Amino acid sequence: MRSALLILGVAIGITTILMMVTVLSGLGRKINDDLLSARRPYVYVARYDFMVGGVDEEEMMRREPLDPEDAEALEELCPSLDQVCVLYEPQRAVIVHYGAERTPPTQILGASHTFPDIYSLTVEHGRFFTSTEEEHRERVVLLGYGPARDLFGNQNPVGKNVRFGGRRYAVMGTFASRHHFVGSMSDNFLVIPYTTYRKDFRSPTDFESIAATVKEGITLEQGMEEVTNTMRIRRGVAPGEKNNFAVMTSESFLELVRKFTVPIGIVLTVIASIGLVVGGIGVMNIMLISVAERTREIGVRMALGARKQDILLQFLVESGTLTGIGGLVGTGCGTALAYLVSRLIHFPFYLSVPWTVTAVLFSVVVGVVFGLYPARRAARMNPVIALRYE
C-alpha cells in the first residue's frame, strides 16, 4: 500500500508537469499559427514597429503615413515579392445594422483584394471582392463569422445590404470562423476595399500597413532588404539616416510570441515541479520507514557478506524504481489529459518527446536523490545491532 501511494504521488506530480508543458506547447503553436496565418513568409511594412517598447509618440506621428503608391512601388521594384496588400485599421469600431438586428462594436478593415490569400482566410459563403470592385471604390463588404451570425443567424447573407457608418454596403461573402486563441474577438470584423475605406472612413489616426508575401525560393532577408531599400528611396532617407518607417517579417511576430510564452511556460513548470518535490519528501519518509522495518534483514545481509555499497544500492534502486514507475504512469495520464484538454479548447496537440523522456528521468532522479539519505542510513548500520533488532 505504501509503495502504491508513493507511485501515485509521483504520478500526480509528473502528470501535472507533463500536461502543463504539452498544453503550453499547443498554446504556443496555436498563437504562432494564428498570428502567422499566412501560408508563406511575408514582409510587413508600417509607420512604426509596434512590437518595440519606448516608442516616441510625437516622432511617430510626424512620420508620413503609408499610401497605396508605396504598395505599387514595392510590387514593381521588388522582384522577390509576390502578392502585396494594403491594409487600413482605424482606431474606432462600427455598429452594423440589418433591419432590426445590430452587431456589437465591430472592427472594420480596409484591404486589397489579395487580403484573404496573404493572411490565409477562408471565405465560407460567397466570394471576396475583386480588383475591379476595388478600383471602382464600390461599397461591398465581407463579414466576419461574428457579424454574419449576429445579423443573419443561419441565413445566407450574400446579396443582402447592411448599413454602417451611415451608408449601405452589399454583402459579397462571409468568412469562416477562425477558432483564434483570443476567442470570438478574432471573428468580430468586416473587410471593405481599401479604396472605399479611404473614401468613406479615412482618418489621420488610422494605422496603415503593407503586407507582402515572398516568392518561393526567396529568403525573408532578401525580401526585407529590397523593401527597405525601395522605401528609403521613396521617402528620401539619406545614407546613414535612421529609417522613418518599420519593416518586419513573419519571424518578428514569432519572436514576439516566444517572449510571452517561454517565460510563462518556465514559471508554470517550476510551480508544477514544487508538487513533485513534495512527493520526493514523501519518498524519503516512506523509505525511512522501510529501512526501520527491514533492519533485521539488513543485518542478515551484512552478516552474509554484503558491503555498504550493496545495501546503499539496494535502497537506491528500490526508491528509483518506484518513482520511475510513478513517472511512467504520470506520463501516460498527463499525455491523455493534455490530449483531452487540447480537444476541448481547440488547441493543437503536440507531444514533445524530449520533455516526455525528461519527465520520466526526472522522476527517477527524484527517487534517487530523496532516497539517498535513507539508503545511507541503512548502509551505515552496525550489523551486530541490526541482527538483534526485533
pLDDT in tens, 42-87: 888 988 776 555 556 566 667 888 889 999 999 999 999 988 999 9
pLDDT, residue 102, reads: 93
What is the structure's pLDDT at 257? Answer: 65
Whole-number pLDDT of residue 63: 80
The confidence score (pLDDT) of residue 17 equals: 79
Alpha helices, H only, 79-219: 115-119, 131-135, 145-152, 194-200
Quote the pLDDT of residue 51: 58
pTM of the predicted model over 0.75: no
Q: Which residue has the cell 469562416?
A: 176
Report whether 181 contacts 33 (CB < 8 A).
no
pLDDT at 204: 83
pLDDT of residue 182: 41
φ/ψ bin of 78: left (φ > 0), alpha (ψ from -120 to 50), beta (otherwise): beta
Intervals of the chain under pLDDT 70: 27-40, 50-61, 179-186, 250-258, 260-262, 265, 268-269, 272, 345-347, 386, 388-390
| pLDDT number for residue 72 | 92
Q: What is the pLDDT of residue 341?
A: 79
CB 335 within 8 A of CB 356: yes
Task: With residue 360 as reference, give the H or E element that holds it.
Answer: helix 353-379
| Chain segment 131-163, per-residue pLDDT in tens | 999 999 999 999 999 999 999 988 889 999 999
Task: Give the closest residue to 118 by CA, choosing from 146, 153, 84, 154.
Answer: 84
The whole-angstrom separation of Cα 390 and Cα 386 is 9
Tell me the C-alpha to C-alpha distance, in Å, between residue 368 and each of 49, 75, 308, 332: 51, 64, 17, 22
